[in-house]
Amino acid sequence: MQINIYYGGRGMMDDPTLFCVGKMQEVLEELRVNVETYHLYELKNSITTLPQTLKNADGIILATTVEWHGIGGYMQQFLDACWLYGDKELISKIYMCPVVMATTYGEREGKLHLSEAWEILGGIPCNGICGYILDSTVIENNPDYISVIERAAEGLYRTINQHMPSLPASNHAVKQKISITQNIDLTPQETEQLSRYASDEMYVQRQKEDIQELAMYFRDKMSSEEDDDDNQFINDFKHAYQPQAGMEGCYKISMGNGQPLTLAIKDGEMDCFYKDVERYDVELQMTVDCMNEIVSGRMTFQRAFMGGDMTVKGAHQLLRNLDVLFPFGL
């Protein structure tokens, strides 16, 4: 699990928000969560690129301090960058926990502001915490306050780990009413330069033709790779086959939407091909990943069946023969 912390305060030593996110980071790391912290005041010249750091995050903490009015400029810049350059589809799967401490009035409004902004972006806000704290020592010396912070971190972990759903919010409708900037990983200067190219109809047409050629190239390449993968399983079974007296049967192995892999064994000969046959003794159903585990020797047919990774229909007694006929691990 990956959780990113974005701190939007000024980095003052007595900032209570810093203590809160530090304590939450300790709790999350104890739960074996990978935590990355970004201090926006240190990255103020590259805030527009920070939405790229959301790509590997399962959840984030947006933490800021209300020192006179509102959530502060750095945090607002980060939210603006997420709106302009963030991947909205990616953001829609990310949980956000707001943490707002105030040295003046407005901590509840700040927390609400962060939650509403994340909802408009399409993300999933969590409960979060907020408080009016004049000095960080007030929290540091109060076990009850520390317990509240630790429970908030644990709650965020459980929410992400259990993929807890949330009810739809009216803020999501904003995305349907407002034009959303195209998801591109560019700085504002590069976006402005790109807009000049977009106004050139000849350039746009040429780009469309190039994209179409690339799409056809990769489609053909993927089709070729799929054929190679099919032949690879056939070659694996042919190389591993060890004839055994008295062991015969027809095995039909289904691995998804494509044609099933059929193993026909009779009189010491084995025929392996991709085709759906009507007559067979055993039908095995598994994923391609499971088959890769078996042919690489890291899994046996029997273990896959016992572990629930493979289902079997038909003559179950023939299942154990497969590990004898095809000893991939040897």
Query: Tens digit of pLDDT for each residue in 271-288?
Result: 988 888 888 899 999 998
Residue 243, judged by CB atoms within 10 A of its CB (0-12, 13-18, 19+), counts as: exposed
Q: Please indicate, yes or no, if residue 296 is contained in any of the structural domains.
A: yes
Q: Which pLDDT value is given to residue 199? A: 44
Same domain, yes or no: 144 and 276: no
State the average pLDDT over residues 246-258.
86
Q: Report d(CA 101, CA 45) in Å as an integer.
A: 25
> Does 169 lie in the same domain as 61?
yes
* pLDDT tens for each residue of 105-152: 999 999 999 999 999 999 999 999 999 998 888 899 999 999 999 999
Please check whether residue 268 lies inside any domain of the structure: yes
How high is the pLDDT of residue 85? 85
CATH number assigned to the domain comprising residue 294: 3.30.1050.10
- Whether 187 is in a domain gets the answer no
Q: 212 in a domain, yes or no?
A: no
* Phi–psi pair at 101, nearest 5 degrees: -110, 140
User: In this structure, is the dihedral angle defined by the CA atoms of residues 305, 311, 316 and 320, taken in order, positive or negative?
Assistant: negative
Q: What percent of the chain has pLDDT over 70?
A: 85
Range of weakest confidence among 22-26, 55-59, 255-259: 255-259
- Identify whether residues 27 and 113 lie together within a single domain: yes
Q: Does residue 187 register a pLDDT over 70?
A: no
Read off the pLDDT of each residue in 199-228 and give the average, rounded to a whole number: 68
- Residue finishing a domain among 149, 177, 205: 177
Tally of domains within the chain: 2
My answer on whether 34 and 146 are in the same domain is: yes
Question: Rounded to the nearest 5°, which phi and psi values hold at 104?
Answer: -145, -165
- Cα–Cα distances in Å, from 270 out to 244, 247, 264, 274, 296? 11, 11, 6, 14, 20
pLDDT for position 317:
82
> Which of these, 256, 254, 61, lies nearest to 160 by C-alpha position?
61
Predicted pLDDT of residue 171: 65
Q: Are residues 13 and 161 in the same domain?
A: yes
Q: Note whether 146 and 16 are same-domain residues.
A: yes
Q: Where are the beta strands (DSSP E) in 244-307?
A: 249-254, 261-266, 269-274, 282-285
Q: How confident is the model at residue 185 (pLDDT cuts 50, 70, 90)?
A: low
Of 238, 228, 93, 81, the residue nearest 160 (C-alpha): 93
Identify whether residues 237 and 166 lie together within a single domain: no
Considering the domain boundaries, does residue 6 fall inside one?
Answer: yes
Residues 140 and 270 both lie in one domain: no
Please report how the helices 288-295 and 201-240 are oriented relative to each other, as an axis angle in degrees rounded to 10: 50
Most confident of 218-222, 316-320, 321-325: 321-325
Mean pLDDT score across all residues of the chain: 85
Tell me if residue 126 falls in helix, strand or coil.
coil
Averaged over 226-251, what is the pLDDT?
Answer: 80
In a domain, 136, yes or no: yes
Question: Does the residue 208 lie in any domain?
Answer: no
Whether the model clears a pTM of 0.75, i.e. scores above it, the answer is no
Asked which of 177, 192, 217 is the last residue of a domain, the reply is: 177
Q: Is the pLDDT of residue 205 over 60?
A: yes
Cα radius of gyration (the chain): 28
Q: 102 and 37, same structural domain? A: yes
Burial class (CB in 10 A: 0-12, 13-18, 19+), 118: buried
- The interaxial angle of helices 107-121 and 73-85, nearest 10 deg, is 10
pLDDT one-digit tens code per residue, 66-112 = 999 899 999 999 999 999 888 888 999 999 999 999 999 999 999 99
Same domain membership, residue 44 and residue 166: yes
Residue 62 pLDDT more than 70? yes
41 and 17 Cβ atoms separated by less than 8 Å:
no
* Residue that is last in its domain, among 177, 193, 219: 177
pLDDT of residue 256: 78
Residues 106 and 8 in one domain: yes
pLDDT band at 211 (very low <50, low <70, confident <90, very high): confident
- Range picked from 102-111, 158-167, 184-193, 195-204 for highest mean pLDDT: 102-111
On whether both 118 and 17 belong to a single domain, the answer is yes
Residue 223 lies in a domain: no
Distance CA 65, CA 70 (A): 9
- What is the extent of the structural domain holding 237? 229-325
Q: What is the CATH number of the domain that holds 150?
A: 3.40.50.360
